[in-house]
Structure 1
Amino acid sequence: MLCHDALAMSSKLLALSLAVLLAVLFVVSLCLGSTNLLTPADALQGAFATIGLAEPLADYQAIARLRLLRVATAVAVGAALALSGGLLQGVFRNDLASPGIIGVSSGASLGAALAILFIGGYGARFFPADELPSSDLLITGMACVGAILTAFLVTAMATTNGRVSVPNLLLVGIAVNAIIGGLLAAIQSFVLKDYEVAQALFTWLFGRLDDRTPFQVGLVWCGLLLAASVLPFISFELDLLAGGEEDAEGLGVDTPRVKLIAVVAASIAAATAVSVAGQIAFVGLVVPHLLRRLAGAPHRPLLVLCVLGGPVLLLGADLAQRLAFGDDRLQPGVTMSLLGGPFFLWLLVRNRRRLETW
């Protein structure tokens, strides 16, 4: 009981610390940019004016609006990717699982890239332009379909005798990522002479947070809220599942239902993030792993902490690269790959003995 109370207190303290840090990063990101430095008061006034709660700034309202959209995108994308990673690590009972590693993000990327082709006119033979939904909805919808299909394909191929093999999961994920990477390269080669479509694909695949519209930001928040809405119904079951599927089933857990809900929720969260911000790797790997080491394994507090920790990491990385280079020449997707790649190698080395026994 004492240990449980201490763990709960640790989770609450960590949540408070992350919330304060997120608020600080939020304000600092509004103040700093490649053009004008705003005071915190002006930055907040401009942000509130954007949503109609204050008077617009006399000179810098447009700048404040663009920065608010960038920061709101970073918060939603970071939270969605971290929550997706937390759910996948919970359902597969392994801290190497993440949307990027097992192919969920790649599947979303392929779906979104195909949608960009359709929007660019390459699908007119099959989908007349006047019959297509809005571009943002089409990209997000196809990203969700791609992510969910890829997640279930990888899970099915990694399942042996009704149980998911972690080494198989990683190997199948690597293979699927390679195949989808080849398909994305083929798509880029196909549209190379079409500057507008090629540029849209090229910049999107790098992972970026700028030039997002309020509707796009809203799509990510909708995906995040939809995924988060399942947490009260599966958090306790994920705790029981951590002890093994047979033990969990013996305690009455409907493991296929829990897996289905968790994988679909994780796929939707990752897909909406990828459809708007492009490929931003390793947020879903790094954040849940670090928070589990700090706050323990119970999934109810852990997944809430992921929603706070993801934005802290992504906003921090974005702010660091802007301060280092003075502009946006290095996109957040590149920054996270440079940070997350070594972390993934460290995880592989750390789990080497466990992988040999699985």
Structure 2
Amino acid sequence: MSVARTGTRAGVVAALVMGVGLLGLVVLSCLKGTTMTFGTDQFLQGLGGILGTDTPLEGHHQLIFELVTCKTLVACGVGASLACSGALLQGVFRNGLASPSILGITAGAGLGATLGIMLVGGYGSNVAGGIDLLDQAAKHSPLLVTITGFAGACSVALLVAAVGGVGGRVSVPTLLLVGIAINACIAGILAAIQAWLVEHDWQTAEAVYHWSFGSLKDKSWTQVGIVWTGAACAALALPFVARELDLFAAGEENAESLGVNTTRTKLLALVTASLAAAAAVAVAGQIAFVGLVVPHLVRLAGFRSYRTLLPLSLVGGAIFLLGADVAQRYLMERELFKPGVLMSLVGGPFFLFLLVRSRSEVRTW
């Protein structure tokens, strides 16, 4: 009992420290846009303009400030959603290599969102070139994009559970093979869609291509609401699965003997992970490896119990994605890499490191 209490206290302290760090990153992000930098007084006035407690900034400055603020909040929500989704999947499959991108859940959400946008139709002929048409479609029909993305993510999650879950525990080779197969199939479908769009609507085809690398730019308050709804749903579900996922580590049979409803737990965790990933992908496109890297960093800090791992992954994901974006803006003075490319540069080597380590260590998740 004392160990559990100590772990809980350490988790609370870590959450407070990470929360303060995240707040600092949010302020830094809002102070520096891609086209202009805001002073402290402008930041406070712009924030007051959003909240209705102060006069908005003059001219187009208020609009730019709101775009930067929306981008900041979207980055936090997307990072939190993907990291929490990854932690949940690792608990369900009891495998540290599980993540939304590797299992194909992110790709499934992307395919569903793309099909949803195609159902909306008509954006290629009505929007000027150079504008992200998928982002524009998401602004006009956010519920459709989110619902179809959620359907795609859930379909892939259930497929992975059905194909790779025979016999209880999922082995690393099986998990990777299922993920590779699903990602390959979806990549082929998306390539076929893009080839068709090139012939019939090149602007939408270009948008699909750029969206595949993820985008945090030009977001609206509606999209902020969507991604944070997904993150909030994930956060609300955590108390109902955290204890059960800790008991899952010793095997489903042992968990059932301790009174855990394994079917309900797996279904709730998979649906929650899919919803969080779908909301993130529907708003920001495909951003890989956040769901893989962040839970491992939290574990490396000593927080292995899902009672602390899940909430810290939420905060850590927001810090990870927003921190990478802020660092790029301040160090390079521009956004050289899209977030999907940036995360792949970090996550790819980390994934290889995990594969090498898994060959010499047997870990229980």
2:173 pairs, out of 167, 176, 181, with: 167
TM-superposed deviation, 1:2: 4.2
Structure 2 Cα separation of the partners of residues 164 and 93 of structure 1? 7
Structure 2 Cα separation of the partners of residues 9 and 338 of structure 1? 34
TM-superposed deviation, 1:295: 3.5
Structure 2 Cα separation of the partners of residues 165 and 3 of structure 1? 31
Instruction: Please tell me whether the aligned partners of residues 84 and 270 of structure 1 are also in contact (alpha carbons under 8 angstroms).
Output: yes
Structure 1 Cα separation of the partners of residues 239 and 342 of structure 2? 33
Question: How many pairs are equivalent?
Answer: 347
TM-superposed deviation, 1:249: 1.0
TM-superposed deviation, 1:93: 1.4
Structure 2 Cα separation of the partners of residues 354 and 250 of structure 1? 28
Structure 2 Cα separation of the partners of residues 311 and 45 of structure 1? 25
Q: Residue by residue, what CA displacement relative to the aligned partner does 1:215-255 show, whole Å, maximum 9, x if unpaired?
A: 11111111111222211211111111112111111111111
Aligned to 1:155: 161
Compared with structure 1, are the counterparts of its residues 65 and 252 closer, same or farther at alpha carbon in structure 2 (3 Å cutoff)?
Answer: same
TM-superposed deviation, 1:341: 0.5
Structure 1 Cα separation of the partners of residues 48 and 293 of structure 2? 32
Aligned to 2:242: 235
Aligned to 1:43: 43
State how 1:83-122 maps to structure 2 within 5 Å.
83-121=84-122
TM-superposed deviation, 1:119: 2.2
Structure 1 Cα separation of the partners of residues 277 and 363 of structure 2? 29
State how 1:54-69 maps to structure 2 within 5 Å.
54-59=54-59, 60-69=61-70
- The letter for the 1-side match of 2:266 is K
Aligned to 2:135: none
Aligned to 1:211: 218
Question: What TM-score do the two structures reach when normalised by structure 2?
Answer: 0.90
TM-superposed deviation, 1:163: 4.3
Instruction: Please tell me whether the aligned partners of residues 158 and 166 of structure 1 are also in contact (alpha carbons under 8 angstroms).
Output: no
1:332 and 2:330 are equivalent in the alignment: no
Q: Residue by residue, what CA displacement relative to the aligned partner does 1:116-138 show, whole Å, maximum 9, x if unpaired?
A: 2222359xxxxxxxxxx952211
1:142 and 2:143 are equivalent in the alignment: no
Compared with structure 1, are the counterparts of its residues 190 and 355 closer, same or farther at alpha carbon in structure 2 (3 Å cutoff)?
Answer: farther
Compare 158-167 and 302-311 and name the one that shifted more: 158-167
Instruction: Please tell me whether the aligned partners of residues 27 and 40 of structure 1 are also in contact (alpha carbons under 8 angstroms).
Output: no
Aligned to 1:317: 324
Question: What TM-score do the two structures reach when normalised by structure 1?
Answer: 0.92
Q: Residue by residue, what CA displacement relative to the aligned partner does 1:1-29 show, whole Å, maximum 9, x if unpaired?
A: 44334322321221112111101110000
Compared with structure 1, are the counterparts of its residues 95 and 356 closer, same or farther at alpha carbon in structure 2 (3 Å cutoff)?
Answer: closer
Aligned to 1:278: 285
Structure 1 Cα separation of the partners of residues 354 and 220 of structure 2? 36
Other structure's SS at 1:30 match? helix
Q: Residue by residue, what CA displacement relative to the aligned partner does 1:287-306 show, whole Å, maximum 9, x if unpaired?
A: 11110221422212211111
Compare 321-330 and 12-21 and name the one that shifted more: 321-330
Structure 2 Cα separation of the partners of residues 260 and 350 of structure 1? 30
Aligned to 1:184: 190
Instruction: Please tell me whether the aligned partners of residues 94 and 170 of structure 2 are also in contact (alpha carbons under 8 angstroms).
Output: no
- The letter for the 2-side match of 1:139 is V
Compared with structure 1, are the counterparts of its residues 277 and 234 closer, same or farther at alpha carbon in structure 2 (3 Å cutoff)?
Answer: same
Structure 2 Cα separation of the partners of residues 166 and 246 of structure 1? 20
Structure 2 Cα separation of the partners of residues 236 and 355 of structure 1? 22
Instruction: Please tell me whether the aligned partners of residues 155 and 169 of structure 1 are also in contact (alpha carbons under 8 angstroms).
Output: no
Aligned to 2:76: 75
Compared with structure 1, are the counterparts of its residues 73 and 175 closer, same or farther at alpha carbon in structure 2 (3 Å cutoff)?
Answer: same
1:292 and 2:319 are equivalent in the alignment: no
Compared with structure 1, are the counterparts of its residues 295 and 356 closer, same or farther at alpha carbon in structure 2 (3 Å cutoff)?
Answer: closer
- The letter for the 2-side match of 1:83 is C
Percent identity at matched positions? 51
TM-superposed deviation, 1:355: 7.1
Compare 37-46 and 241-250 and name the one that shifted more: 37-46
Instruction: Please tell me whether the aligned partners of residues 28 and 40 of structure 1 are also in contact (alpha carbons under 8 angstroms).
Output: no
Name stretches of at least 5 consecutive residues in structure 1 with no aligned partner. Answer: 123-132
2:359 pairs, out of 341, 349, 352, with: 352
Aligned to 1:128: none
